[in-house]
Chain A
Amino acid sequence: MNKENTIPALDIDQQTPNEQTIEEIVASLGDTVGEARVENPKMSVSGVDVFYAEKQAIFGVDLDIANNEVISMIGPSGCGKSTLLRCLNRMNDTIPICRVTGEIMLDGEGIYSKDTDPVLLRARVGMVFQKPNPFPKSIYENVAYGPRLHGLNRNKADLDDIVVNSLRKAGIYDEVKNRLDDAGTSLSGGQQQRLCIARTIACSPEVILMDEPCSALDPIATAKIEELIDELRENYAIAIVTHSMQQAARVSQRTAYFHLGKLVEVGDTDTIFTNPKHELTEKYITGRFG
């Protein structure tokens, strides 16, 4: 298995001037600007460092994820936003050389504590990936996968209900209702991504993590997914990593800007985009680098 491939690219070296180490630059960035904490957070990240073998990818991040809110994480490639996202449901556990320190809480319980079962955690904190990855099974089986695993249904009728509801919530039901037995891979890219969202919803998660969910999609499919994200906010806490600042502005209520593994600035999306406090945030948002 090509485990190395799953490590997000770290282009830190490219951006590092020769005379300074990453640690020095990160130290020079100063404390996070803006309010990282919210009242009653769904998830709460405190002092998290992440290492890939000896290389540090995340430096002391504090961040809250609130209920019924979309938080977007932006920043240049290799800034650690995907890495942090993958910490939130412990997907980083699949990378042997990855080490996480600090504390991440879900409803006040540490997800990296010994008592937490990563398998159950991932059912509560669902994830949608960058590239649509439906299983090579029928559309129905794709959505029924999670409920079957976790025994969420008592009988076949239950399962049918879950599948139909999840597809409805993901806004794809009308397009696929007559061909639930077709292969999930036979759908178009945008439909596949919505199927993957339906698949995640079917596990009835509390938090949904999205890792650049639209980067492989055309503008029309992207618009549909963005609309969907906005609707899903009613029921879930959502964290989305994106490279598109327009997307962050459109779908999220709060925005966090990362640079070289450090959370530089966080705050209301409106404030970040209209009145950024940190020099780097302003540079990034106005398109001067990144």
Chain B
Amino acid sequence: MSTSMLLLVIFILTALTYVVGRSRAASLRKQSTSMHSLPRYYGYLAAICTAVPSLILLALWSAAEPVLLKSSTIGTLPAEVQALSTGELDLVVNDIKNIATGGISQSADDPVRAAAAQHYTESRASSRLYRTIAVLILCIAGALFGLKKINSGTRARVAVERAIMIGLLICSCIAIFTTVGIVLSVLFESLRFFNKVPFNEFVFGLQWSPQTAIRADQVGSSGSFGAVPIFAGTLLISVIAMLVAVPFGLMSAIYLAEYASSTVRSWAKPLLEILAGIPTVVYGFFAALTVAPLIRDAGESIGLSVASESALAAGLVMGIMIIPFVSSLSDDVITAVPQAMRDGSLGLGATKSETIKRVVIPAALPGIVGGILLAVSRAIGETMIVVMAAGLAANLTINPLEAVTTVTVQIVTLLTGDQAFDSPKTLAAFALGLMLFVTTLILNVIALQIVRKYREQYE
């Protein structure tokens, strides 16, 4: 039985157990047996007993099957083939699989491989058969167990609540473990990079030119991996973006939350949020084709030399892009400040703006900082606008009129195209990612501390 068929059967059995369980509990209840929970909870409990163990078994079996099949197939191969390196052995196994499943293979005539393919097909078929039997037995056993538990002694509601809690726990664990996994993989790849390029050179080096020689006899481009210029570029562009986004976002949030009539609000808020829906690539060419030339021309007219790809252009457009993040989140938290706070202040003879400045904003501060932090993360992680508008040249400068580059852009250029995944050039991407991650983390921690210090907690 195929996996989807098996899932369908489990599903049907589960639904069936639920219905049977519920009606059995209901009839027990009618016979005035004092039951602990409502009938539907007994139904849920029986359904959980049916579905969960069999689904777990199915998942485990499906995960283990390919591994076991592979090792058993390799076992049938002659010794000299088994002695091949892992990579080559994988190729052979793939080939055998192709023969077995009727795919294209270059060595279908090879009797050894044909025999192995035969073995593969047979063991897979028997594995599938055993799987079906085992899963179905477990499923039915679970159903019977669950139905047997329907009596006055079972505290079904408690058990179901517990099962729900465990389910939620598993979901949050998956999210957390994924994060941990990503961080660890980045960390280990970065360690490989730091084996080739010293840590100090990477963190404090002032020169970034990641082109390395591919062949030993190649001339030039020995590669240097000083991350300072690109981090400076990231910082510069992010600062420009925040200088645009924070004042405009916050002010518009205050206007929308405190001053605008409900008609204006119902129009303006969605319009502002459309800004967040524009793809970044659109912002990118807007920055590169409209804003950057505008800034260059404006600069030239007052005698400044402006690069046609400038940090200013990228930062400005990025700032506009993240205005909705700041404004929307700030608007929500400002609106959430209780009206009683405003009344109290107004009742003491404060003007509207005094009330906002002295009572509303301090009370909403944690949420506002949260919104700004999210915007900063967006700014640091943004790639498309910078690729198009700020260029690729890793200049170490704080002049916003020059071209700079950012960490994310460098990661993109390092990994685009055909690359060997063990050269310092590609591994540098992981190190950059790690640095970026650490930087953002530190920023978050600092901001949270600031908020904790200055927050004014209303009930």
- A-B contacts at CB below 8 angstroms, number: 85
Smallest beta-carbon distance A241→chain B, Å: 14
| Contact (Cβ within 8 A) B349 A129 | no
Of residues 363 to 418 in B, which have CB atoms within 8 Å of A's CB atoms?
363
Q: Which partner residue on chain A sits nearest B265 by CB separation?
A: A1
For residue B88, CB closer than 8 A to chain A, the reply is no
- What CA separation (Å) do A144 and B359 show in the bound complex? 13
Of residues 320 to 360 in B, which have CB atoms within 8 Å of A's CB atoms?
335, 338-351, 354, 358-359
- What CA separation (Å) do A2 and B342 show in the bound complex? 12
Smallest beta-carbon distance A110→chain B, Å: 18
| Contact (Cβ within 8 A) A123 B338 | no
Q: Which partner residue on chain A sits nearest B457 by CB separation?
A: A136
| Contact (Cβ within 8 A) B341 A122 | no
Chain B residues with Cβ below 8 Å from A121 are 349
Q: Which of A155-163, A195-203, A226-234 contacts B (4 or more CB under 8 A)?
A: A195-203
Smallest beta-carbon distance A185→chain B, Å: 6
With A133-B341, A135-B359 in contact, is A122–B347 under 8 Å at CB? Answer: yes
Smallest beta-carbon distance B443→chain A, Å: 26
Q: Which partner residue on chain B sits nearest A192 by CB separation?
A: B459
| Contact (Cβ within 8 A) B347 A129 | yes
For residue A27, CB closer than 8 A to chain B, the reply is no
Chain A residues with Cβ below 8 Å from B457 are 136, 183, 185
Chain B, residues 117-146, CB within 8 Å of chain A (1/0): the string is: 000000000000000000000000000000
Chain B contact residues: helix, strand, loop or mixed: helix
Q: Which of A17-25, A88-96, A266-274 contacts B (4 or more CB under 8 A)?
A: A88-96
What class of interface size applies to chain A in its complex with B?
A: 20 to 34
What class of interface size applies to chain B in its complex with A?
A: 20 to 34
- With beta carbons under 8 angstroms apart, the residue of A2, A124, A135, A150 that contacts B341 is A135
| Contact (Cβ within 8 A) B349 A203 | yes
Chain A residues with Cβ below 8 Å from B341 are 133, 135-136
| Contact (Cβ within 8 A) A136 B362 | yes
For residue B456, CB closer than 8 A to chain A, the reply is yes
Chain B residues with Cβ below 8 Å from A131 are 340
Chain A residues with Cβ below 8 Å from B258 are 1
With A5-B339, A6-B343, A149-B354 in contact, is A136–B458 under 8 Å at CB? Answer: yes
Of residues 1 to 60 in A, which have CB atoms within 8 Å of B's CB atoms?
1-3, 5-6
Q: Which partner residue on chain B sits nearest A202 by CB separation?
A: B348
For residue A126, CB closer than 8 A to chain B, the reply is yes
For residue B261, CB closer than 8 A to chain A, the reply is yes
- What CA separation (Å) do A89 and B346 show in the bound complex? 10
| Contact (Cβ within 8 A) B350 A119 | yes
Chain A residues with Cβ below 8 Å from B349 are 119-124, 146, 149-150, 203
Listed in ascending order, the chain B residues whose CB lies under 8 Å from chain A are: 257-258, 261-262, 335, 338-351, 354, 358-359, 362-363, 456-459
Listed in ascending order, the chain A residues whose CB lies under 8 Å from chain B are: 1-3, 5-6, 89, 91, 94, 96, 119-124, 126-127, 129, 131, 133-137, 145-146, 149-150, 183, 185, 196, 199-200, 203
- Closest 8 A/B residue pairs (Cβ): A123-B349, A136-B456, A133-B340, A127-B347, A122-B349, A133-B344, A146-B348, A136-B458
